[in-house]
Structure 1
Amino acid sequence: MNALPLLMVTLVASQPATSLEYTLDKHRFELGFRPRVASVEGAEDARAASVLLRAGARSHWSDTLSTLLEIDTVALGWEDEFSNGENFNGKPVIPDVGGIDLNQALVRYSPTNRLQLSIGREAVNLGNERFVGTNSFWQNEQTLDMAGFKVDFASASNVSYRYVTNANRISGDEAGKYLSPSDSNFEQNNGLRPAQFLGDHGHNTHLLFAEFKEWDYSRLQAYYLAIDIEDAPALSNDTLGLRYEFKGRLNNLRTLAHAEYAFQERPDVDRNNMIRYYNIGAGLGYRSSEISLNIETLGENSGTSFATPLASLHDFNGWSDQFLITPDGGLRDYSIQYIWRKNPWKIDARYHVFHADDNNARYGQEFDLDLSMNMSRNGTLLLRYADFIADDDNYANERRIFLMYIYNL
């Protein structure tokens, strides 16, 4: 696959010098790919194979105008041995879908050094992606059709706003409103695709996010998210929150801590209830090692739980994806994380214990492990392992394994 960038460079080099200079100065072409195999062992078994190929072009047409274009192509293997949200066959869901997709198509206009206006399709990650993110672990990213702006102020702070009309979700454009009669859950859902598996969600959404980075060791983030989802109104919500992060040193120790609080209304479910979220954690690092403790609570109120429909959901509450939709009783995730780094290796180990927020009932526990190796400046080999052990009859034991190579993504 490395032959394609070489071919592109060869073709450009054959042009006159003035053309070459313009091309290299004003445009940057990118190529990335990610082959992956995945397996699930549980009440039902599944396996999947997929390859993502992403081609992109970043162009600066003037000092104030730039564009971004990304096109993704995903090919699948073992298609009859897993469900993916677009198609269901009774196997567990591994949400990688095939096809060609316009991932990003964005126009940016910067009339000043501190103001940037944007319109188009964008891969949006706000903060740690707990509320808005691309879910980019999967082969088809979540992107937003939007218009907005970003303003830089003070020495290193910024505020951004986006008006969103559509969320292009990881299930892909072919995951429309109606299921195929051959799908295993056709009758169960009366021929309608469950809202969480729709490939597109129409939106009338406002995202306001501010980040303050005026201190050496601290960062403060504030956000207001008015999420109105036309195709899944039950997931619509208004969320207001604040997050503080600290990273410092104590002699030879690295210190880190964070605290986040948010409250939410879900008017299409219960207009009178306020639901709370909080996330508190702290850790220490020494040389190649780092250990941290964390408590995250997605609360509930009278059976209505906290919702995060635009989040990078795979990144939170365990990599086996048991809690992509918050249970009606809410969720409390107690976790401990250990990270070890020594180039080219990295180990990331996590242990979670999951409880209900309303009555403290235990849902289960999970052990997660990432083992990664940097094989080149742009290439990484990753093995991801997740083992969920259920303590509640509504869940089942499940083990998931992913092996992938990531190049320039």
Structure 2
Amino acid sequence: MQSVVKISTRTALILLAGTCVNANAYNELENQARTNIDLNLRYEAVDQDNSSKDASALTLRTRLNYTSVNYNGFSGVVEFEDSRQIAGVNDYNDTVGSNTQYSIIADPETTELDQAYVQYKQGKFIAKLGRQVLTLDNHRYVGHVGWRQDRQTFDAATLLYNASENIKVNYSYINKRNRIFADVKDLHAKDHLLNISYKTSVGQLTAYSYLLEVDEGTSNGLDTFGVSFKGKKDKLSYYAEFATQDFESGATDYSASYIAVEAGYNFDTVTLKLGAEILGSDDAMYGFSTPLATLHKFNGWSDQFLGTQQEGLVDLYASISGKAFGGGWTVAVHDFSADEATESVDDLGTEINAIYTKKFAKKYTAGIKYAAYSAGDSTAGKVDTDKVWLWVGAKF
């Protein structure tokens, strides 16, 4: 299938220039255009209890963004992204290279056209066409995977309609998924995303339909329908979600469900959260899947469960967070088990996560992050894993 949204640097620049009628009009509005540089220098180390060698990576991600003027409702964005290995610290499997003897750190070297789209905004209506960042709700189904150096974007057409102060309708059609593994693992697609939210006096109710299809020559489909509710009352926060999913691939057909609940309380100095997330299974043959999600955000930062195993996953977790020395900290614990246990897969281990981040001098951020996963008794291919990150970022 030929892409409906075919992006190239030349095309992006032509589209961007087309947002203004003539050079004089552009010059008059030039002071409204914006150019931004976003830098992220990060060290990551991985130690796993298996045959893979310990991995380490020092990488620099540079993102250059130009946002045009707004002329009669039209504007445009062009953004380039580059990720480089620094100082020869590159003993890691980047998922696209040859260092397979090391543990995986999914930050390959790459230079890409990260975004290139034209936007039209008129009243309550917004339309975007081109390569763009898409995020929905809490990133559980659709996200930019911004934790990795090469973030995820989509070639898409998006329509957003704010019907009222309380009702928002969002629809996107995606024909290419530009994933985090450089362009060699991008996927052509026929994805339809519909998300409708309604704000009430006690919280926000959201209903969604995500119909996904990889357009790579095989018959397949991943259809998810769900509803969520989140709100806050004084110091108490609450969240609940339920979804069903049908997966088809050739003659194979599976169904699974998703349940998430969370409650939080702010004790002034710290915030405590307790929650459970269940990615269901179909008779231990298929696990609920969210391939467009910011997966690193969920089920522990050691990334043991980026793909849900066929037995499904139950994640019981608790976190505590607060402020210290001008920054923010969080400590979380997870207990993992199979949704539909078998003789060999049941206990899937535990994990401890910790993070501290701090902003300084207005334009800079720094942080340290740690994840320690302890494998359970199951023969599910999981091993003890420790990961640590140190980073500094700057935005100009």
TM-score normalised by length of structure 1: 0.84
The percent of aligned pairs where both chains have the same amino acid is 25
| 1:96-111 paired onto structure 2 within 5 Å | 96-110=107-121
Question: Do the aligned partners of residues 365 and 234 (structure 1) sit closer, same or farther apart at CA in structure 2, a change above 3 Å counting?
Answer: farther
Q: SS at 2:249's partner residue?
A: coil
Question: Do the aligned partners of residues 270 and 277 (structure 1) sit closer, same or farther apart at CA in structure 2, a change above 3 Å counting?
Answer: farther
Alignment-mate amino acid for residue 317 of structure 2: S
Q: Does 1:387 align with 2:372?
A: yes
| 1:104-143 paired onto structure 2 within 5 Å | 104-110=115-121, 112-143=122-153
Alignment-mate amino acid for residue 119 of structure 2: R
Question: Do the aligned partners of residues 131 and 88 (structure 1) sit closer, same or farther apart at CA in structure 2, a change above 3 Å counting?
Answer: farther
Question: Do the aligned partners of residues 297 and 248 (structure 1) sit closer, same or farther apart at CA in structure 2, a change above 3 Å counting?
Answer: same
Q: Does 1:48 align with 2:57?
A: yes
Q: SS at 2:93's partner residue?
A: coil
Q: Does 1:288 align with 2:295?
A: no
Please, which of 27, 30, 41 is the counterpart of residue 35 of structure 1? Answer: 41
Q: SS at 1:314's partner residue?
A: helix
The answer for unaligned runs of 5 or more in structure 1 is: 1-17, 176-198
Q: Which residue of 1 aligns with 2:97?
A: 87
> How big is each residue's C-alpha offset from its partner over 1:237-292, in whole Å with a ceiling of 9 and x where there is no partner?
1000111001121xxxx101100000000011775532100101101112131001
- Offset at 1:87? 1.3
Question: Do the aligned partners of residues 232 and 313 (structure 1) sit closer, same or farther apart at CA in structure 2, a change above 3 Å counting?
Answer: farther
Q: Distance in 1 between matches of 2:276 and 2:320?
A: 15
Q: Distance in 2 between matches of 1:235 and 1:36?
A: 37
- Offset at 1:60? 2.5
Q: Distance in 2 between matches of 1:139 and 1:169?
A: 11
Q: Does 1:319 align with 2:305?
A: no
Q: Does 1:277 align with 2:258?
A: yes
Task: Identify the range of structure 1 (392-401 vs 159-168) with the bigger mean alpha-carbon deviation.
Answer: 392-401
Q: Distance in 2 between matches of 1:46 and 1:317?
A: 22
Task: Identify the range of structure 1 (269-278 vs 229-238) with the bigger mean alpha-carbon deviation.
Answer: 229-238
Q: CA RMSD in A?
A: 2.0
Question: Do the aligned partners of residues 232 and 125 (structure 1) sit closer, same or farther apart at CA in structure 2, a change above 3 Å counting?
Answer: farther
Q: Which residue of 2 aligns with 1:179?
A: none
| 1:175-214 paired onto structure 2 within 5 Å | 175=184, 199-214=185-200
Please, which of 144, 147, 172 is the counterpart of residue 154 of structure 2? Answer: 144
Q: Which residue of 2 aligns with 1:224?
A: 209
Q: Distance in 1 between matches of 2:90 and 2:270?
A: 42
Q: Distance in 2 between matches of 1:231 and 1:132?
A: 20
Q: Distance in 1 between matches of 2:57 and 2:142?
A: 27
Contact 1:234 1:266 in 2 (8 A): no
Question: Do the aligned partners of residues 269 and 281 (structure 1) sit closer, same or farther apart at CA in structure 2, a change above 3 Å counting?
Answer: farther
TM-score normalised by length of structure 2: 0.87
Q: Distance in 2 between matches of 1:386 and 1:408?
A: 27
Q: Distance in 1 between matches of 2:389 and 2:219?
A: 32
Contact 1:32 1:54 in 2 (8 A): yes
Q: Which residue of 1 aligns with 2:223?
A: 238
Alignment-mate amino acid for residue 395 of structure 1: K
Q: Distance in 1 between matches of 2:321 and 2:98?
A: 36
Q: Which residue of 2 aligns with 1:331?
A: 313
- Offset at 1:159? 0.7
- Offset at 1:153? 1.3
Contact 1:275 1:300 in 2 (8 A): yes
Contact 1:269 1:304 in 2 (8 A): no
Please, which of 66, 80, 83 is the counterpart of residue 74 of structure 1? Answer: 83
Q: Which residue of 1 aligns with 2:389?
A: 402
Contact 2:26 2:69 in 1 (8 A): no
Contact 1:319 1:368 in 2 (8 A): yes
Question: Do the aligned partners of residues 233 and 265 (structure 1) sit closer, same or farther apart at CA in structure 2, a change above 3 Å counting?
Answer: farther
The answer for unaligned runs of 5 or more in structure 2 is: 1-24
- Offset at 1:61? 3.5
> How big is each residue's C-alpha offset from its partner over 1:352-386, in whole Å with a ceiling of 9 and x where there is no partner?
01000002811110000011111232321111100
Q: SS at 1:213's partner residue?
A: strand
Q: Which residue of 2 aligns with 1:24?
A: 31
- Offset at 1:79? 6.1
Contact 2:156 2:173 in 1 (8 A): yes
Q: SS at 1:310's partner residue?
A: coil
Alignment-mate amino acid for residue 56 of structure 1: N
- Offset at 1:115? 0.8
Contact 2:132 2:153 in 1 (8 A): yes
Q: Distance in 1 between matches of 2:127 and 2:358?
A: 38
Alignment-mate amino acid for residue 402 of structure 1: W
Contact 2:335 2:350 in 1 (8 A): yes
Q: Distance in 2 between matches of 1:241 and 1:326?
A: 18
Alignment-mate amino acid for residue 104 of structure 1: Q
Contact 1:265 1:273 in 2 (8 A): yes
Contact 1:382 1:403 in 2 (8 A): yes
- Offset at 1:343? 6.3
Q: SS at 1:147's partner residue?
A: strand
